[in-house]
Amino acid sequence: MKRWLLALGVCVSTAACGNGSNGDAAASGGAVGTDSGGTGSGGTASGGATGSGGTAESGGASSGGAGGSASGGSSGATGGAASGGQSGSGGQGNAGSGGTTGSGGSVSSCVGDPFPTADPTKTGPFSVTADKNVGPLAGVVPDPIYGDEQQRFHVYRPSNIATSGHCHPILIWANGYRDNPEQNPPKCVVNAGSNQWCGQYGPIVNHLASHGFVVVASLSTATAEGDPLPTTAGLDWILEQAEDASSPYYHALDTTKIGQLGHSYGGMSTCMTASDPRFSALGTICGTRALEGVHTPMLFFCGGKDSTVKCSGVHDVFKTVTDQPAFFLNELNADHGSWVYQGANGVSLSSAAAWFRVHLMDDTANRNFFYGDNCKFCTDGRVQAEQNALMKVP
C-alpha cells in the first residue's frame, strides 16, 4: 500500500507557529497567518504528523514519498524518455486564448508556427531532454536539503527545440519544501528505508515538456524563500538565454507566453509572484497563500484526502479571484502527494497540460476541459470542480 510521508515543515511567518515534532527532526507545524489576514500557509512536522499549532490550511510541507517503491517519483525524471504520445491534429491559429491573459514578457524574437492541438491526457508529441545544473546559483542558504551548497536549475524541454519550428512557451516550476524535480544524489534521494523523499516531480515536469513547454525548475528546496525567489531568478535567466546567440534556447522561446506552477510550498511561491507582469497563466497544486495583483487565468488544484493542505483553504483563495478566469479542482481520492503518480491521464498532469496549452499555446480545442457549463472536468467523477463566473462561457 502506498503511503505518503511528509517532509519537514516550515513556518514562513511568526504567526500561529506550533512546535510539533516527529521522526528525526523538530518542525514548526500548524497554520501560518499572513499579514493581510488571508489564508495562511501551513507546515507539518516530518513523518506526516501535523504540528500542534493548528491545521495547515494552505502552503505547507513538500510532498512525501510513495511507500513501497524505493524509486519513488523518479519515473521519467531523467528527461530523455518522454517520447511518442499523440501527434497534434489541426491548426490552432492565435484566436481565443481562453479568457483574459496577462501581458507576458516583452515582444518575442522567436518566429514560428502555431502549435497544433494535442491530447493533454496523453504524453505529448515531443521527446524530452533535461539540461541539468544550468543557470545561476539561486535560493536561500542554508538550503533545507543541500545545506551551504546553493543550487542551480534543471531545464526540461523538447529535444528538438532548435528545429521544431515552434516558439516554445516557458513554464517555471516551483518545488515543495525539501523536494526537487528529480533525485539528485547523494543528498536528494527517494529512499523509503531512510524516510527520504526528495526528487519526486519527474512525472509532471516531463509531461509538460513533452507537450512543448520549456520547464525551468529550481533545485532549491525552499522555493518560497529568498530575495529574489529562486523561481524569479530562473525566469530572469531563461529570458536572457532567449536572446543569447550561444544558448540552446536562442530565439526558440515565446517570451510573451510564460506560466508558473508549483506544489505545496511551491504553490505559495507561485502566489507570491502572481503580480509579475511577465506571467500569462498560473497554477497551484496543494498550496496557496493570499493573493495580490493577479492578472492572469489561475488554476487551483487540491487533494480531497490531503490532511496537510486542506481543500477548504485552497478553495478560500480561489474564491478571491473574481476578475480573471479561475478554476478549482478537488481530486477526491488524492492526498498531498499521490496526485503525481497517476500518469498522464491523472487529474493533475492532464489538467496542468490542458490549462497551459489553452492559455500559453492558444490551444482552443482544449478549452472544453475548463470552460462552459458542461466542461470535461465539471462532469468528471474523479473531481469536484468549480468555475468562477468568467469560466462559464465555452
Contact between 299 and 285 (Cβ < 8 Å): no
pLDDT tens per residue across span 351-370: 999 999 999 999 999 999 99
For residues 87 and 300, which has the higher predicted lDDT (pLDDT)?
Answer: 300
- Of 317, 325, 289, 285, the C-alpha closest to 302 is 285
Residue 158's alpha-carbon distances to 164, 319, 350, in angstroms, are 8, 35, 18
* Residue % of the chain over a pLDDT of 90: 71
Distance CA 161, CA 191 (A): 34
pLDDT of residue 107: 83
Does 26 have pLDDT greater than 80?
Answer: no
Tell me the pLDDT band of 106, cut-offs 50, 70 and 90.
Answer: low
Helix, strand or coil, per DSSP, at residue 239: helix
CATH fold for domain 72-391: Rossmann fold (3.40.50)
Does 68 have pLDDT greater than 90?
Answer: no
Residues 202, 165, 361: CA angle, nearest 5 degrees: 60
Mean pLDDT of all residues belonging to the chain: 80
- Of 262, 252, 200, 186, the C-alpha closest to 230 is 262
Domains of the chain: which residue ranges? 72-391
* Residue % of the chain over a pLDDT of 70: 73
Distance CA 66, CA 32 (A): 27
